[in-house]
Amino acid sequence: MTVTELRPEGGGTSTEGLAAAEKASAEAEAMRIKNESDRRRAKLADEKAAAKAQADIESSLADAADERRRRDEARREVAARKAKAEKSAEQWRRAAKTIAIVCVIVSLPLQIMAFWDPTAWFLVAAPFVLEGVAWALLKGAEAAVDDGRPSWHYRLGALAQASIAAWINFDHGSAAFGTATGLGGALCSLIGPTIWDLHENGRIAKREGRKTWSQRWTERREARAEQVKTKKLIAARIEQDETVWERAVYLAAALGELTPSDRTYRRAWDEIHGTDPGQTAEIIAARRAARRAVRIASNGPLKDENTQLDSQMDPDDERPSKAPKKSGEDGRKNNGGTPPRRVPGEVKYSAAARTEMSNEGRRRAASKTDA
One DSSP character per residue, 16-28 reads HHHHHHHHHHHHH
- What are the strands, taking DSSP E only, across the chain? none
Residue-level pLDDT at 249: 92
CA–CA distance from 352 to each of 28, 293, 355 (Å)? Answer: 52, 47, 5
Q: What is the mean pLDDT of the chain?
A: 78
Q: Is there a contact between 8 and 17 (Cβ–Cβ < 8 Å)? A: yes
State the Cα torsion 26-32-35-40 to the nearest 10°: -120
Same domain, 175 and 236: no
Q: What percent of the chain has pLDDT over 70?
A: 79
Number of separate domains in the chain: 2
Look at residues 154, 131, 134 and name the one whose alpha carbon lies nearest to residue 142: 154
Same domain, 203 and 236: no
| 35 within a domain of the structure (yes/no) | no
Same domain, 121 and 200: yes
Residue-level pLDDT at 36: 85
Q: Reply yes or no on whether the pLDDT at 279 is more than 60.
A: yes
The whole-number average pLDDT for the span 282-300 is 87
Residue-level pLDDT at 315: 46
| 290 within a domain of the structure (yes/no) | yes
Of 278, 296, 314, the domain-final residue: 296
- Cα angle 248-252-253, degrees, rounded to a multiple of 5: 120
d(CA 215, CA 200): 20
Of 154, 176, 211, the domain-final residue: 211
Q: Reply yes or no on whether the pLDDT at 269 is more than 90.
A: yes
Same domain, 162 and 203: yes
The whole-number average pLDDT for the span 76-104 is 82
pLDDT in tens, 28-41: 888 888 888 888 88
Same domain, 139 and 189: yes
pLDDT in tens, 108-121: 888 888 888 788 88
| 338 within a domain of the structure (yes/no) | no
Same domain, 100 and 187: yes
Q: Reply yes or no on whether the pLDDT at 355 is more than 70.
A: yes
Q: What is the pTM of this model?
A: 0.39
| 320 within a domain of the structure (yes/no) | no
The whole-number average pLDDT for the span 150-172 is 84
| 188 within a domain of the structure (yes/no) | yes
Same domain, 206 and 247: no
Look at residues 305, 284, 285 and name the one whose alpha carbon lies nearest to residue 296: 305
Residue-level pLDDT at 310: 47
The one-letter code for the residue type at 25 is S
Query: In terms of residue numbers, what domain contains 247?
Result: 232-296
- Which range has the worst mean pLDDT, 94-98, 205-209, 216-220, 231-235? 205-209
Q: Reply yes or no on whether the pLDDT at 319 is more than 60.
A: no
Q: How confident is the model at residue 14 (pLDDT cuts 50, 70, 90)?
A: low
d(CA 314, CA 65): 75
Q: Is there a contact between 110 and 169 (Cβ–Cβ < 8 Å)? A: yes
Residue-level pLDDT at 345: 61
Same domain, 107 and 187: yes
Q: How confident is the model at residue 208 (pLDDT cuts 50, 70, 90)?
A: low
Same domain, 190 and 284: no
| 78 within a domain of the structure (yes/no) | no
Same domain, 280 and 170: no
Count of H-run helices and E-run strands, the chain:
10, 0
| 75 within a domain of the structure (yes/no) | no
Q: Reply yes or no on whether the pLDDT at 370 is more than 50.
A: yes
CB-side neighbour CA atoms (13 Å) of 79: 6
Q: Could you tell me which residues come within 8 angstroms of residue 92 by beta carbon, excluding any fewer than 6 positions away?
A: 199, 202
CA 131 to chain CA mean position, Å: 60
| 108 within a domain of the structure (yes/no) | yes
- What are the strands, taking DSSP E only, across 28-157? none
Contacts 24+ apart (CB under 8 A), 334-338: none
Q: Reply yes or no on whether the pLDDT at 81 is more than 50.
A: yes
Q: Is there a contact between 252 and 244 (Cβ–Cβ < 8 Å)? A: no
pLDDT higher at 346 or 43: 43
Look at residues 227, 232, 272 and name the one whose alpha carbon lies nearest to residue 248: 272
Same domain, 116 and 175: yes
CA–CA distance from 284 to each of 54, 110, 211, 271, 276 (Å)? Answer: 58, 89, 51, 17, 11
The whole-number average pLDDT for the span 283-303 is 82
Same domain, 251 and 188: no
Q: How confident is the model at residue 247 (pLDDT cuts 50, 70, 90)?
A: very high
Of 249, 266, 296, the domain-final residue: 296
Residue-level pLDDT at 2: 45
State the Cα torsion 302-307-309-311 to the nearest 10°: 150
Q: Reply yes or no on whether the pLDDT at 318 is more than 50.
A: no
Q: How confident is the model at residue 348 (pLDDT cuts 50, 70, 90)?
A: low
Q: Reply yes or no on whether the pLDDT at 329 is more than 50.
A: no
